[in-house]
Amino acid sequence: MFPPGFGEVAERLRRSTVHISAGGRGHGSGIIVKSEGTIVTNAHVARFGRLAVTLWDGRSFPAEIATRDLRRDLAILRVPASNVPAAPLGDSNQLRPGELVIAIGNPLGFMGALTAGIIHAVGPLPGLGPRKWIQAGVRLAPGNSGGPLADASGNVVGVNTMVAGRLGLAVPSNEVSRLLRGENPQPLGVTLRPMRVAAAGRELLGLMILELAPDGAASRASLLPGDILVGADGRFFSALEDLEDALQANSGRVLRLQFVRGDPSKMRSVAIQLGVSTSVAA
């Protein structure tokens, strides 16, 4: 049984949810968080290249990437629009298991699709590092990534990111608030996807390069799409945050990355002069 006013809450969220197209290389959703045209989405939705944002009323705008964040899988976009309906950000630290939540997005091209469920847990997941995830019983599909997860009052408490088992995973809204305040990581200039790889005689966490920013730090170091990063400064990765920690520790200096290219039995190394922007695809 939904609470009174649920329909109005859902309609307001729809008007604050946008469709994001990455120039024929995929699509997803985003959340208007400031009425002058500031949008938050997943970093793996906002890939390098031409981005277009379509509002609920059908208007479409080119989008500029303001920030991309590896650790949080978040991106901040700007569009040349004003007086657009912004969704309020809630306090994700106040979430409790059993609470009703609403997810809005554009799965499989259906604009403004809604799904509702309850919070199952808020916390880390094995294999995804120590950071918190909102784990909710909402049905997500390709195209939902980057869209809002909101409480019954319409406050955005998370950014829908991926599915694990039968649960949807969302980045907590407090991470969005920190990013909007400018707490950004040292950039690298790649889009990455986590995977398991057999290298150095063991199974390791690898970060496959999907895309490189033109003239970014990784591109200047001659890394290529398909290369799999497995370590930094001689230490293998065990969580997504390990690369981010290495980037922060070497801010303004040279970082040495270990990676494999083609044959996983052959470990390579490259020196990176840090410099552009980084994201991770879920």
Residue 281 is predicted with a pLDDT of 45
Name residue 220's amino acid.
R
In a domain, 98, yes or no: yes
The reply to whether 52 and 127 lie within a common domain is: no
In a domain, 203, yes or no: yes
**Cα(2)–Cα(250) distance, rounded to whole angstroms?**
50
Total domains in the chain come to 3
Residue 83 is predicted with a pLDDT of 94
DSSP letter at 59 equals -
Judge whether 206 and 269 are in contact, CB under 8 Å.
no
In a domain, 1, yes or no: no
From the list 146, 140, 142, 62, the residue with the least C-alpha distance to 109 is 142
Residue 279 is predicted with a pLDDT of 43
In a domain, 148, yes or no: yes
Residue 282 is predicted with a pLDDT of 40
Residue 6 is predicted with a pLDDT of 81
Examine the fold and report which residue of 180, 200, 231 is the final residue of a domain before the chain moves on. Answer: 180
* CATH number of the CATH domain containing 33: 2.40.10.10
Examine the fold and report which residue of 78, 103, 128 is the final residue of a domain before the chain moves on. Answer: 78
Examine the fold and report which residue of 148, 180, 212 is the final residue of a domain before the chain moves on. Answer: 180
Residue 240 is predicted with a pLDDT of 67
Residue 241 is predicted with a pLDDT of 62
Q: What are 2-6's contacts with CB under 8 Å, separation 24+?
A: 2/100, 2/116, 3/100, 3/152, 6/152
The reply to whether 129 and 172 lie within a common domain is: yes
Measured CA distances, 99 to 118, 119, 138, 140 (Å): 5, 5, 12, 18
In a domain, 185, yes or no: no
Q: Mean pLDDT, consecutive 10-residue segments, the chain of 282 residues?
A: 79 96 84 97 85 94 89 90 95 93 90 93 78 91 94 96 91 89 67 83 88 86 93 84 73 85 88 59 42
Residue 280 is predicted with a pLDDT of 43
Residue 101 is predicted with a pLDDT of 96
**Cα(102)–Cα(7) distance, rounded to whole angstroms?**
11
The reply to whether 104 and 154 lie within a common domain is: yes
The reply to whether 160 and 201 lie within a common domain is: no
Residue 111 is predicted with a pLDDT of 86
Domain of 14 in residue numbering reads as: 6-78
The reply to whether 52 and 122 lie within a common domain is: no
In a domain, 84, yes or no: no
The reply to whether 161 and 110 lie within a common domain is: yes
Catalytic residues: 44, 73, 145
**Cα(234)–Cα(215) distance, rounded to whole angstroms?**
25
In a domain, 85, yes or no: no
**Cα(93)–Cα(127) distance, rounded to whole angstroms?**
22
The reply to whether 165 and 203 lie within a common domain is: no
In a domain, 83, yes or no: no
